[in-house]
Chain A
Amino acid sequence: MEKFIVHTGTAVPLRRSNVDTDQIIPAEYLKRITRHGFEDGLFSAWRKDPAFVLNQPHYEGATVLVAGPDFGTGSSREHAVWALQDYGFAVVLSSRFADIFRGNSGKGGLLTAQVDQEVIEALWAAIEADPSLDVTVDLERREVRAGDLVAEFDVDDYVRWRLMEGLDDIGITLQHADDIAVFEASRPSWKPTTTPVI
């Protein structure tokens, strides 16, 4: 995974709350067995409407998504993160993220930066006034900067460290393989197993 220190790009204002992962990537796309190529599925139902914000040419090429509260609710599908990344987004800003979505984003290196709703409103206004406005998301300083606006965002300390180092979880865990073996040796024998298949 590439290191994430600072990202600068243009932004899209998604004026919707409670954006669930069925909207981010409908179930139809979950049948795929590949890990990439999900960009066509991103918000595919909403994108059928020509007025939908992602269809506006002045937001093309944006890499920062600025969304309403409760982003990523519902199904645990990590495909939602892949779709956002395949489409080109590196960061999502919202005042509240659903737990599973936030966790999945951290695994894939999509930064979920939490700010107050007032900051979201200010960003929406600024981006709508000037779609070419550069938005900088600084993971090192935990800051989002756009024009005159500067605001702090919340991100888990450990996720921040891991994204900045570009490290993946499995590699980190396997450094503690001995601890896992010790724990396994102490598990009660009456705990169930799935095999032999009866």
Chain B
Amino acid sequence: MGRTLAEKVWDDHVVRRATGEPDLLYIDLHLVHEVTSPQAFDGLRHAHHRPVRRTDLTLATEDHNVPTIDILQPIADPVSKAQVDALRHNCEEFGVPVYSLGSVDQGIVHVVGPQLGLTQPGMTVVCGDSHTSTHGAFGALAFGIGTSEVEHVLATQTLPLKPFKTMAVTVDGALPEGVTAKDVILAVIAKIGTGGGQGYVLEYRGSAIEGLSMEGRMTLCNMSIEAGARAGMIAPDDTTFAYLKGRTHAPTGADWDAAVEYWHTLPTDPDATFDAEVVIDASTLTPFVTWGTNPGQGLPLSASVPTPDDARDEVDRVAIERAIEYMGLTPGMPLRDITVDTVFVGSCTNGRIEDLRAVAEILEGRTVADSVRMLVVPGSVRVKQQAEEEGLDKVFLNAGAEWREAGCSMCLAMNPDKLAPGERSASTSNRNFEGRQGPGGRTHLVSPAVAAATAVTGHLSAPADLSPVATA
């Protein structure tokens, strides 16, 4: 009987299996950042200084806490500084490689791993961060873990886990003009719900998925967690191999050939069955945004804020009322009428070079509205360098946007980039929870293209809404 991609990767990593117990799975790559690791390293210290079992399968970077300006100055917030210092100290003491501020390989952890070619098909990848699902774009089984599990992986390079169920999410057809990977995943989450993927690994399939670039696939897999899923995966194919070839940690020569041969065995077998299936017709998709306070409260940009009467049941009705109140919206108002004061482009969801190119294409020859503050934050130093080589930074600055250093920035209010109470943003990040970008802050999740168009008009817009740029 055939197996799915997720089952194949799982089976290849079982160290030990016993009835009535979780499987013990080997972890090929453990990514670490400053927020979820301090207590884990302390745990090792307290256990008579247990060593990190595989420093050569562990890599750390600094991303959540770091400022995105003046990065070579000491971090101003003493609590943030203490946490980043703790990471540096822990990595030195335990022998874990770390890319700190100032390193050319520093950046958001889920941008850094793939760009180095460290994330490869068929691997198990974990990190103390729920958006680890990003790496599933390569056909890796990649998922977020808590600090206790971080300690467990540091100590043993394994995790005890019960197998996930499998859900096929098939998107067939060609994506219409203006519909990006971000719009697809927001539509998937609205359809499945924030709890709908719970207990599942999602496998994204179908011609629309195959047509995505690796960066598009990463955007898609990144937000699998928002549908409640533990992980999201896409089968490796020629697009995957082309992306990896020649990257710093990708195999070469005979090793490359051996790796590719193995990678070809991974896609789901034709006779495999999934525990659940969802099918979406790509041609029905349009630019999608969130209006509410969880990623499932999303709608096409062409729609209007729901009214409480639209609710499925009482629990949903209370949720809708609460979200409308927190977000300061009027039931029934067109989403295009929502004005914003802040636009944030960046994050592990949409902070890569293709996202920046999409924004630059729209901002070229246009200006950010006076009423809007726009931050463009590259996902890593290397992305920043590439953007500057391509002249994208000039486009952002000429339009009136701010061009920053690499980090998680305004995604989550842990560093100086935050919304003030009552401020409203269009963000290319992944969560719109109450207070996510700052206490009292209001977040609308959008694609980079919608973010750029919104920056120009000052209210939620798609590129198609803009007047053509006047040519001399």
Which A residues contact B (CB, under 8 angstroms)?
15, 17-18, 20, 22-23, 26-28, 30-35, 45, 68-70, 73-79, 81, 96, 98-100, 103-104, 107-108, 117, 156-158, 169-170, 172-174, 176-177, 179-180, 182-184, 187-195, 197-198
- Residues of A within 8 Å of B300, CB to CB, are none
Residues of B within 8 A of A (CB): 15-16, 20-22, 24, 26, 28-29, 35-36, 38-39, 42, 47, 53, 55-59, 64-65, 77, 79-80, 82-83, 86, 97, 117-118, 120, 123, 128-130, 144-149, 151-152, 155-158, 160, 162, 194-195, 198-199, 225-226, 228, 230, 248-251, 255-256, 258-259, 262, 294, 315-316, 318-319, 412-414, 431, 433-436, 439
* CA–CA, A95 and B15, complex, Å: 33
CB contact under 8 A between A192 and B36, given known A22-B435, A68-B315: no
B151 near A30 with CB under 8 A, answer no
A108 to B147, CA, bound (A): 10
Which residues in A have their C-beta under 8 angstroms from that of B250? Answer: 192
Inter-subunit contact B319/A18 (CB<8 Å): yes
- A28 and B35 CA atoms in complex are apart in Å by 11
Q: Please indicate the chain B residues that have their CB under 8 angstroms from the CB of A179 in the complex.
A: 15-16, 24
**5 tightest A-B contacts by CB?**
A78-B146, A107-B148, A104-B146, A190-B255, A33-B38
Docked-complex contact B319 and A45, CB < 8 angstroms:
no
B152: chain A residues within 8 A (beta carbon): 169-170, 173
Residues of the A chain whose Cβ atoms lie less than 8 Å from the Cβ of B316: 17
Q: How far is the CB of A169 from chain B (nearest CB, A)?
A: 6
Q: How far is the CA of A32 from the CA of B258 in the complex (A)?
A: 45
**Cβ distance A124 to chain B, nearest Cβ, rounded Å:** 12
The residues of A that contact B262 with a CB separation of less than 8 Å are 188
Q: Show 27 residue pairs from A and B whose CB-CB distance is below 8 angstroms, ordered by the A residue.
A: A22-B433, A22-B436, A30-B36, A30-B414, A31-B35, A31-B65, A33-B83, A74-B226, A76-B146, A98-B198, A100-B144, A104-B148, A157-B20, A158-B22, A158-B162, A169-B152, A169-B160, A170-B151, A172-B160, A176-B24, A179-B24, A180-B157, A190-B255, A192-B118, A194-B59, A194-B249, A195-B97
Assess the B58–A107 pair: CB atoms within 8 A. Answer: no
Chain A hits for B64, CB < 8 A: 27, 30
Cβ of A76 and Cβ of B251 under 8 Å apart?
no
A20 contacts which of B155, B160, B294 (Cβ < 8 Å)?
B294
The reply to whether A27 and B412 form a contact with Cβ atoms under 8 Å apart is yes
Query: Nearest Cβ in chain A — how far from B257, in angstroms?
Result: 9
Contact A69 B315 (CB under 8 A): yes
In Å, the complex CA distance between A99 and B156 comes to 22
- A96-B319 in contact given A27-B414, A180-B15 (Cβ < 8 Å): no
Residue of A nearest to B55 (CB): A195
Distance (whole angstroms) from the CB of B335 to the closest CB of chain A: 21
Whether B249 contacts A74 by the Cβ 8 Å rule is: no
User: With a CB–CB cut-off of 8 A, which chain A residues contact B24?
Assistant: 173, 176, 179-180
A191 touches B435 (CB 8 A): no
Chain A residues closer than 8 Å to B144, beta-carbon distance: 76, 100
Q: Are B230 and A31 in contact (CB under 8 A)?
A: no
Shortest C-beta distance, A103 to chain B (Å), equals 7
Partner of A195, one of B39, B56, B146, B413: B56
Q: What's the minimum C-beta distance from A138 to chain B, rounded to whole angstroms?
A: 21
Specify which chain A residues have a CB less than 8 angstroms from the CB of B199 in the assembled complex: 99
A180-B21 in contact (CB<8A): no
Instruction: Contact check, A194 vs B156: say whether CB atoms are below 8 A apart.
Output: no
- Residues of chain B lying within 8 A (CB to CB) of residue A194: 29, 55-59, 97, 118, 249
Residues of A within 8 A of B65 (CB): 31
CA distance A71 to B6 in the complex (A): 26
Chain B residues near A189 (CB-CB < 8 A): 255
Question: A34 touching B194 by the CB < 8 A rule?
Answer: no
Contacts of B258 in A (CB 8 A): 188, 190
Give Cα A42 to B240, complex, Å: 42
Residue in B29, B39, B439 whose Cβ sees the most chain A Cβ within 10 Å: B39
Is the pair B55, A176 in contact by a Cβ cutoff of 8 Å?
Answer: no
Known contacts A22-B412, A75-B412, A173-B152, then 20 further A-B pairs from the complex at CB < 8 Å, ordered by chain A residue: A28-B413, A30-B35, A31-B79, A31-B414, A32-B83, A68-B315, A75-B431, A78-B128, A78-B148, A100-B146, A173-B24, A173-B160, A188-B259, A190-B259, A191-B123, A192-B117, A192-B249, A194-B57, A198-B248, A198-B249
